[in-house]
Structure 1
Amino acid sequence: MLAEGGWPAVTTRAVAERAGTNVGLIHYHFGGLPGLHEAIARRAGDEIVGSVVDALVAAPDPSAALDTVRALVPATTGDGPRMRLAVEVMAGALRDPVLGEVLRQELRRARERIGARLAELRPSWSDERRAGAATVIVALVDGLLLHRLLDTTLPVDEALTALGDLLGVRP
């Protein structure tokens, strides 16, 4: 529903109708509309951010991670409902402090998971260096997704090849 009509479409009545239940049950389970919105934002954030992080941490080496990003950016931005969902989560996070905190938690968790993978790949790095690298990686992927969403001609392959050259990573 969020991807279909944005946050205004996500009411307790509309969710109850779609779920084939009554509004009272939605209020009881989620504590009202704010709790419902928070649960939706958490699930959407996990679906959007978590799936990208899952793919990145599964990459066996930096070259494979670049290839993963190379494949994820067009696939993710080409999925209309998924991108509408991402945009609505971001818009909601900017308007509502509770939804903003949910998205911040999802991004923190993404950085922590990538940092943990970097600890495996680069055990000699300090915690601070891994945290910094994880922040850059999450921001890079987020930025590429946003830019590709706004400009479908974005040269993602070329950008990632240049990044690989800068990092000394060869395909």
Structure 2
Amino acid sequence: MIDAGVSLLVDGGWPAVTTRAVAERAGTNIGLIHYHFGGLPGLHSAIASRAADEIITPIIDALLDAPDFAAALDTVRALVSATPGDGRMMRLAVELMPGALRDPAMGEVLRDGLRQARARIGERLGELHPSWSEARRTGAATVIVALLDGLMLHRLLDTSLPVDETLDALADLIEDRS
């Protein structure tokens, strides 16, 4: 049912995600939606959780798999450059934000996904920089997640965004290259 809901979200946004449409797409009856999710609000939260996971987890996994800073920048470069080409991910991202702002339960789901992403990045920063305090790791993780989010949004809105130049400038700033 959740997969059916995510599919409907991609196809038509939140207005398309009704109990009837989800039941029909999933090949089940509406009663099961009420039984498992307590109704449409619970179903929407479950769909938002799955959609957020589809968007956030692969990006964070790819970033955390990078062995060093240069590889991490290359990963970000590839992810941001591919942003406009992945229509499914972009549609989910575009639908999640207003849904999260309108519905407190969906907002909590999205906030939780972002908290988990920051925590995972913070853990990796702790491995790479054991002398950093938890506060410093948390701050750096927050900047990294915001940077990814912002770059992807800007790339979605402007496909001519100079991604390479932007990330080269970031590397220069971090490594204090002149």
Q: Structure 1 runs of 4+ off > 2 angstroms? A: none
State the match for 1:77 in structure 2: 84
Q: Is the 8 A contact 1:62 1:169 kept in 2?
A: no
Equivalent residues in 2 for 1:13-162 (5 A)?
Answer: 13-162=20-169
Identity of aligned residues (%): 75
CA distance in 2, matches of 1:95, 1:74: 30
**CA root-mean-square deviation:** 1.2
Residue-pair matches, total: 170
**Superposed displacement of residue 169, structure 1:** 8.2
CA distance in 1, matches of 2:74, 2:176: 11
Q: Structure 1: which 5+ runs fail to align?
A: none
What one-letter code is carried by the residue in structure 2 that aligns with 1:158? E
CA distance in 1, matches of 2:39, 2:108: 18
Q: Is the 8 A contact 1:93 1:101 kept in 2?
A: yes
SS at match of 1:154: coil
Q: Is the 8 A contact 1:76 1:145 kept in 2?
A: yes
**Superposed displacement of residue 91, structure 1:** 1.2
Q: Structure 2: which 5+ runs fail to align?
A: 1-7
Deviates more, 1:135-144 or 1:17-26: 17-26
Q: Is the 8 A contact 2:83 2:156 kept in 1?
A: no
**Superposed displacement of residue 15, structure 1:** 0.5
**Superposed displacement of residue 77, structure 1:** 2.7
Structure with larger RCO (C-alpha < 8 A, sep 6+):
1
The alignment's TM-score, normalised by the length of structure 2, stands at 0.93
Q: Is the 8 A contact 1:66 1:160 kept in 2?
A: yes
